[in-house]
Structure 1
Amino acid sequence: MLGFAAPGKSLGDLDAESAATVIAAAADVTILLDGAGVIRDVAFGSEELAPSFEGWRSWIGRAWVDTVTEESRPKAEALLREAPKPSVPRWRHLNQSVPAGPAIPLLYASARVANQQRTVIFGRDLRPVSALQQRLVQAQQAMERDYARLRQAETRYRLLFQMSAEPVMVIDAVALRVVEANLAADRLFGADLASSTGRTFLEAFDAAGQPRVQAMLAGVRSAGQADDVLVRLADGEREVAVSAALLRQEKAALFLVRLAFPNAAGVSSLGPAGRSRLLEFVESAPDAFVVAKEDGTILSANPAFLEMAEIATEEQARGEPLSRFLGRHGFELDVLIANLRARGPVRLFETRLRGAHGAQSAVEVSAVIVVEGGPPCFGFTIRDVGKRLAPSQPAEALTMPRPVEQLTELVGRVPLKELVREATDVIERLAIEAALELSGDNRASAAEMLGLSRQSLYVKLRRYGLGDLDSQDEPS
């Protein structure tokens, strides 16, 4: 240890109080021990530290080794053994016990006072360092989580990139060379397109299409977007629609290019003549045909539907909710759409169609959902089945159920309280039967119509003896 050159001369007139001030200022915590290692006094470098060591006055008169945590005692004893040696102080990490609260981490060093049986323990508070280390660990963990999320996102998008059925390529915006291509592009152009030196992306198209593709890419580079171009491939056999988007990666500019085949699949493969005949068939079909959005609003309808709905033109029907015309109750169309989404095409769903001027007719509805080629939409075929009904009773006639007739015969014979209870049971049973009929015996949909849980519906079915209840059908 390199000390003062002439301490006797420079510190000779230093009294005890001044020396205590200097020693206390030298560390955050200073502990003065006697020859036996017993604490005789304690000082703090600042007034803010003292409250953290609540109960420190109880240390005085106790062995210093007993005031540290159990795992720190061997290091405290080593410090006391090293104190008499005139060497560089060795700092050791100890945890100081506090009566109230967790132990406080401190960095301790010891020094023996010359010609006196006194040992001074200097302590530095490690809590700021510990808090900084904790924040560093948390920041490192957060970075690792972010890196993991980025790797997962990169894996997902790379998998999506490779699984795309359409050719997709990443093109250097300056040299117009292929940087990366998915499997569909490799199958279309060959896997050597990206690896061949000297070849550009434009070579994938015929001579007439190359200037158009180049002009489209220039528009994307300058304006950020451009219209798709329809060009032929280099083999001259197929047409493709080329679209592009500009990407910035570090200091480089890249194009994300997608190729689409207009007549790849679906109705478009029929050609203009085939599409025309199909539309002509829908327009002249005797059954009503309606196309609706996901929310049930009408997109288009053929003349047969307009006639049944008592509407003059298709423009009057477009944008109107289909539930305005279709369904005896407001929830019937919701039940139909729910079954359509859950189970696919629905056939021969019985309901009623209401005209704009009040006319009603019994109909059967078949429906399908279309999810390709744009936003999902629903197609409904509606057939008038009113002529199939028995002529002895009009479809619009309202008949009183037999149980209700029996109840009316009891008026005056039984108390009103019992009559009301019986009527409630009859109405409840009729409502459950109607819900089961409307939902096609789908008990989950019937429970939703009635505002009941499935468990409550099964209890009522068992009570009224409705349906064929098996133990495996009941909800768990």
Structure 2
Amino acid sequence: MRAFRAPKESLGDLNADVAAMLVAAASDIALALDADGNIQDLAFQQAGLPLELRNTDEWIGRSWQATVSEESQTKPELLLAEASERKVSRWREVRYPAARGPDIPILFAVVAIKGAARYIAVGRDVRATAALQQKLIEAQVAIERDYSRMRNAESRYRILFQITAEPVLIIDATSHRIVEANPAAAALLDHGAANLIGKLFPDALLIDDQSLSQSLSLAIRSQGKIERVRITLDGGRDYLLDGTFFRQDTSSFFLLRFSPQYGQPALPKSSDVNTQLVQFVESAPDGFVITDMDGRLLHANATFLQLAQIENMHQIMGETIDRWIGKSAIDFSVMLSNLRQHGTLKLFSSVVRGEHGSPVDVEISATTVGAPGQARLGFTIRNVGPRISGDGGDHAFIPRSREQLAELIGRVPLKELVRETTDVIERMCIETALKLTGDNRATAAEMLGLSRQSLYVKLRRYGLAEPSEEDSQLE
């Protein structure tokens, strides 16, 4: 926290009424506590919040600890102890029983009143922030699921292309040069697959009959297809050649398939590879962590220990991982909820808080492994601090920590803060969709569930469309 440099000169002598108004206006909930942690008085900024909390009319005179939910019983004592020692405690999330529905998370800090043996606890309702984070995660999971589906389909066709016994060539429809060849085609033409790339069709086939070679070239240029053409390659080998036209993004290609008439050439064998997975995980430059389903740490590699500034594994065995990971307890709750619901989590932006240093910006991916009843959570943690600090892109203004976001509270109305945060999330989702689709506006609009006109309006709103593009869209 950054305090006033000269509070007596800038604020003057504030009486109790003015101080009470300031505390109530700067927080969603404020508690006046005595030295034993009993509630002497309380204030709410909004009239609706006390109706959502359970039995607020009975709080005065009771211990603060007695009013919170069971899982937060130790938090009030920690906050009061920190305030006694440091005058101002760190922010901690405290959960309160709700009149209806799940517990309500309130972010609290406690300030010790000098010479009065009293404390002021100020709290902020963080449900809106948690809901926005949840929406962002759900959008990210949906985009990643679609991307994973396309990538898996591409992988299946890539494997089929590589292992098929029939020779296959991919020809650029404009230049008529070979852009890809499978191992069977390389063996057929007595070339390595890399040596075939860039060669002109049909010269690369080494066809003995030059008139046939010319007719193939004419057919592919004029008709766009080749059907069951019998060819004899150099050396007397006979094949039937079929060609099919297809498009990929903005380019056009031909797929040529050779059906052998007298047997098939043998494919080269792949060499076996020993990945040494355990050694890789232990020495990887990214952090690897294994926990149980409640987040209690079972194993971590050396990179994570270095990020968390821990000397050895024995110091952290059995500890919950949110002790080091997350800008607040909300981060880990969101991660855990998505892991239990979807089984995987990818590229979640968070921080690792070291034992003796400042937080480090990281990206976290995680998955659930193991059979039901013996399931574990696996996390990969990548340090992206240097990448973030060196990025001068459009998102440089986004707060990167809860403390930076907290500095806006009290200076910016909550509705404006939520609206701006929603705009940031919307812009990030649009940019991600455009990146995944190669800037294809129609596909991006379909991915986001928008009409193309709605997407164009949002592109202009966020300055993502060039002036020439805006003119053409309006036309």
TM-score bin (small chain) = 0.3 to 0.5
TM-score norm. by structure 2 comes to 0.46
Q: Which has the higher contact order (CA 8 A, sep 6+)?
A: 2
Structure having the higher Rg = 1
